[in-house]
Amino acid sequence: MTPLRALLLALSLTLAGCVGGPSYAGGPTEEDPHGLLVPGENVSFWRVDGFDVVESRTSPIYVAPGRRKVKARFDTPIDTDESKETFEYRDLEVDVAAGERYLVERTGEGAFGPFDLRVRAARSQPR
């Protein structure tokens, strides 16, 4: 992980504690049992269990514990002059545990991919 990515992850995990309301309709608040999904570089969250994500799509979101379906988007680099879409959507199945943090990051190297998303446990910070 590059120093910039580590700094962005730490900052986003720190700022996540500032959010109190639900991240999607019917989703948990900060006071309810929840897991936290943290978007990696060039990743955004669009829907959770069919409900639109509210507020910022590029911020960490509170997610109810259990198996969740998350629609995420990731940007892909362009190294050509051709006009084409520079992003892709993926539907992810994520098993969320209360109190856990998960990083959703884009995989793939270089300008041509292939690119995809992966979910991994993010190190929790002490409260």
- For residue range 34-63, list pLDDT tens digits in order: 999 999 988 999 999 999 998 788 899 999
In a domain, 72, yes or no: yes
Least confidently predicted of 1-5, 27-31, 40-44, 48-52: 1-5
In a domain, 127, yes or no: no
In a domain, 29, yes or no: yes
> What tokens appear for 41 in the block?
């570089």
* Distance of alpha carbon 68 from alpha carbon 93, whole angstroms: 6
| Domain interval for residue 84 | 3-122
Could you tell me the pLDDT band of residue 13, with boundaries at 50, 70 and 90? very low
Per the structure, how many domains does the chain have? 1
In a domain, 26, yes or no: yes
Kindly report whether the global pTM for this prediction surpasses the value 0.75: no
* Mean pLDDT within 96-108: 93
